[in-house]
Structure 1
Amino acid sequence: MEAIVAKTAFLGLGVMGYPMAGHLAAAGHDVTVYNRTTAKAEAWVEEYADCSSGEICAAPTPAGAAADADFVFCCVGADKDVAEVCTGDEGAFSSMGKGAVFVDHTTASAECARQMAEAATAAGVAFIDAPVSGGEAGAVGGVLTVMCGGDAKAFAAAEPVMDAYARMTKLLGPVGSGQLAKMVNQICIAGIVQGLSEGLHLALEAGLDAKAVVDVISKGAAQSWQMENRAETMIDGSFDFGFAVDWMRKDLGIVLAEAKNLGISLPQTALVDQFYADVQRMGGNRQDTSSLIRRFRG
């Protein structure tokens, strides 16, 4: 089957967006990027201009980047940032053509997704909330998991383009469903990292060879991505990489707010959120989420 080549825009070139946009360029799509820090957008263009058969350029505003694009992708920080690039002064919705698709990869609230979808509909644009899992390594490797909510027809159109940086994309329901699924994802990760931290702490205090223990138990029912990819660095006390504690706390705040809206209790998630606050007080704001073990090890 002949590859689909699309006119795209990518808004937000952080640790995730920069390589994701790069995969679009490498796949041969036309890509116009926007970033609040103009120098970063210019650096991205310089890096990818020679590795793409498509047109590669930068724009000074979200509206400038989104003009005439078939698909606009976004990966920014939080709800307010999504609203700014979508509906703010010179926001993307003001210049997108009728029938174009906006795909938001930001981890934001489900309510934000619904509000942006309503504004998109008024502008004649389709909106898909599509938060991702896989972290910086997944973005760089082009193997992200994408959890989507929105119209099935819009999703079917965007999915082949997202394949440039995704290993798995799935439509889970109407707008907001992607963000709700990402909340489930973050709940599970937080609980696993806390359990792994406690287990490694016990192993080390008991005088075991913790790495040897992990080598054994990772072949059994205790196995997890966190164990396979983070246990060794947790034992070594190395955390200057990966998904920052500040971002995890932002995500868990979204989770706990949604739980309150639903009238449900998430006691373990609330507890681990406070444990991450302890790590922040220890200066671990930008350290990987596996730094949770620092509460035990210092």
Structure 2
Amino acid sequence: MQRAVKMAKVAFLGLGVMGGPMARHLASKGHQVTVYNRTPAKAAAWVAAHGGSQAATPAAAAAGADVVLACVGNDDDLRQVCIGESGAFAAMAPGTLFIDHTTVSAQVTRELAAQAAARGIGFVDAPVSGGQAGAENGVLSIMCGGAEADYARAEPVMAAYARICRRLGDSGAGQLAKMMNQICIAGLMQGLSEALAFGQKAGLDGEAVVEVISQGAAGSWQMVNRHKTMLADSFDFGFAVDWMRKDLGICLKTADEIGASLPVTALVDQFYKDVQLMGGGRNDTSSLIRRLR
């Protein structure tokens, strides 16, 4: 049963291709939104388009907020907006809530959750899946970790842009689930790349083949949403290879720590390195096919 949504005073830290649309959905649902972005012009443009207000620092954005949300780049970025100079935690009152949508290590999540708890602040790690389109359309899958009471407060806020949202365990569980998500995507994208490249070399009509096989056991989100641009050699959009390598690095490091084996993930990570060396670091992850052509 979906919990009732109480309008809240919220701060959103980070207005990239994911954070900007997520903050927009919060504003459209009636929440009072203050935004912060490392590039102030981006925050100013967001406010001009969607209302709310802009703050010069994470602390200024968080001051007086009931809920602070973040979607930044990596572990260091998250530490900076939480506990760095003018970080949000110093301005948050006991009883408030921090929701982190960044894909980071479970280690930094647990570290920051402990620091939040020491200040009386709730903390939910809530990485997302669904890409830029999922954020734009408000249909993200959200994997969460944290105390049950904190999640219960976070869920109705995240409902503004979620297709599905679940608590999967204590602090760090959301990040571990996101690692599973990225491990799946890496293998699927390599398989799709090999299949489409194979079909092109065999002289088949890739779109016609995908129309058939996408309805069977080979079907996937990647096949449905990326095959056309892959066949057209168009990759100037989407989730960047650089960010995927960051995520896979977290997966591989964590696998070493827990004794898990990720041979395919390690291999595909090196294939993405090839794409970076080809100058495709900012291309969508589907550009993996480029190294097969």
Q: How do residues 43-82 of structure 1 correspond to structure 2 at under 5 angstroms? A: 43-49=45-51, 56-82=52-78
Q: Secondary structure at the match of 2:193?
A: helix
The ranges of structure 1 where at least 4 consecutive aligned residues each deviate by more than 4 angstroms after the TM superposition are none
Following superposition, the deviation at residue 146 of structure 1 comes to: 0.6
Q: Is the 8 A contact 2:7 2:32 kept in 1?
A: yes
- Counterpart-to-counterpart distance in 2, 1:26 and 1:210: 40
Indicate the SS of the match to 1:146.
strand
Q: Tell me if structure 1 keeps the 8 A contact 2:4–2:156.
A: no
Q: In structure 2, what is the Cα distance between the partners aligned to 1:61 and 1:208?
A: 54
Q: What TM-score comes out, normalization by structure 1 length?
A: 0.96
The equivalent residue for 2:102 is 106
Residue in structure 2 matching 1:4, options 3, 6, 13:
6
Offset, 1:207: 1.1
Aligned pairs, number: 291
Give 1:284's aligned amino acid. Answer: G
1:87-128 superposed Cα distances (whole Å, 9 cap, x missing partner): 111111101111111000000000000000011011110111
- Residue in 1 aligned with 2:16? 14
Q: Does 1:226 align with 2:228?
A: no
Q: Distance in 1 between matches of 2:238 and 2:41?
A: 23
Q: 1:96 to 1:291 in 2, by over 3 A?
A: same
Helix, strand or coil for the counterpart of 1:4? coil
> Normalized against structure 2, the TM-score is what?
0.98
Instruction: In structure 2, give the amino acid aligned to 1:121.
Output: A
Q: The residue matched to 2:182 in structure 1 has which SS?
A: helix
Counterpart residue number, 1:245: 241
Kindly indicate whether the alpha-carbon contact (under 8 Å) linking 2:10 and 2:31 is maintained by their aligned counterparts in 1: yes
Q: CA deviation at 1:134?
A: 0.6
Mapped contact 2:9–2:65 kept (Cα < 8 A): yes
Deviation string, structure 1 residues 140-176 (Cα, Å, up to 9, x no partner): 1111111000011111111111111111110000000
SS of 2:124's partner is: strand
Q: Give the C-alpha shift of residue 39 in structure 1.
A: 1.0
- 1:27 alignment partner in structure 2: 29
Distance in 1 of aligned mates of 2:240 and 2:106: 22
The answer for the alignment partner of 1:134 in structure 2 is: 130
**Equivalent residues of 2:124, 2:154 under 8 A apart:** no
List runs of 5+ in structure 2 lacking aligned partners. none
**Residue of 155, 162, 166 corresponding to 1:170:** 166
RMSD over aligned Cα atoms: 1.0
**Distance 1:3-1:123 versus aligned 2 partners, 3 A rule:** closer
Identical counterparts, % of pairs: 64
